[in-house]
Amino acid sequence: HLYIAMDNDDAGRAAAERLAITNLDAGIDIRLLTTIHDDWNTDLIRLGHVSCANNLIRRLRPEHRPSGNLPLP
């Protein structure tokens, strides 16, 4: 499995596309993890770490999601 954490802008999408295409022929399950705002730092500042973590966790395959009381409040 390959998770690509990409910024939500033209450069981020282009980089993610190149990385995905490079690994497509290998039969790897590829998932794109995008930001809500323009980049990860902006998401952290505007949404806070708990909201950012929850957004990421929801996009993970169920078997890759953490168990327990994560993320921390």
Amino acid in position 43: D
The pLDDT of residue 46 is: 97
Instruction: Report pTM.
Output: 0.78
The pLDDT of residue 70 is: 66
Q: How buried is residue 6: exposed, middle or buried, by Cβ count under 10 Å (0-12/13-18/19+)?
A: buried
The pLDDT of residue 72 is: 58
Paired with 31 in beta bridges are: 3
The pLDDT of residue 66 is: 86
The C-alpha atoms of residue 33 and residue 5 are separated, in whole angstroms, by 5
The pLDDT of residue 68 is: 74
The C-alpha atoms of residue 40 and residue 25 are separated, in whole angstroms, by 28
SS3 state at 2: strand
The pLDDT of residue 23 is: 87
